Amino acid sequence: METASASAEESASLVDFKPCPVLESIASQFGLTKIEEDDSTSCDAVYSDSVSVRLDVYPDAGLVDYSPGPSSVISDTNVGSRKAKLVEKALTSSSCAVAVEVGVSSRVDIAASADTSLDEACDAAARVAVAVESKLPK
């Protein structure tokens, strides 16, 4: 029973997690511009001339619930002390995502899309994921 209540608490804490203020708080670190709310659980930003990033909050979906695209290549990784998944070709051949576990049934996804380079997108997603991880509820 402790696990159920712990994950309920973790989910509840992520319900109040707002993605745009988090991106705004790390904007100067990466030169993020045009930070715009897509909806209350998603925020978009421009990372560089050729890369955009997006932060999505999933208060009721864990890492096991991640739904990859048909061409996605997924590998297990860690961001800080948290379990995560690196998803290459998340939506397109030049997009990358890092799904970071917050609780058993909650996560945030940091997705990056580059004009041409998968490596550029994955580098941006990984860097932003590390910065976002420090802002996540413990």
Looking at the chain, the whole-number percentage of residues with pLDDT higher than 90 is 79
Q: Is there a domain that residue 74 lies in? A: yes
Q: Is there a domain that residue 138 lies in? A: no
Of 130, 112, 132, 109, nearest to 122 by C-alpha is 112
Position of tokens 């209350």?
40
Whichever domain contains 28, its CATH number is 3.40.1000
* Domain with 11 in it: 2-133
Give residue 39's pLDDT.
Answer: 87
Q: Is there a domain that residue 20 lies in? A: yes
Put simply, whether the predicted model's pTM sits higher than 0.75 gets the answer yes
Task: Return d(Cα 22, Cα 131) in angstroms, integer.
Answer: 9
Q: Residues 70-99: pLDDT tens digits?
A: 899 999 999 999 999 999 999 999 999 999
Span 119-130, average pLDDT: 97
Q: What's phi and psi for 127, nearest 5 deg? A: -65, -45
Span 28-48, average pLDDT: 95
Q: In which band, very low, low, confident or very high, does the pLDDT at 58 lie, cut at 50, 70 and 90?
A: very high
Q: How many domains does the chain divide into?
A: 1
3-state secondary structure of 132: helix
Q: Is there a domain that residue 88 lies in? A: yes
Give residue 3's pLDDT.
Answer: 40
Q: Is there a domain that residue 31 lies in? A: yes
Q: Is there a domain that residue 57 lies in? A: yes
3-state secondary structure of 27: helix
Give residue 116's pLDDT.
Answer: 86
Q: Is there a domain that residue 8 lies in? A: yes
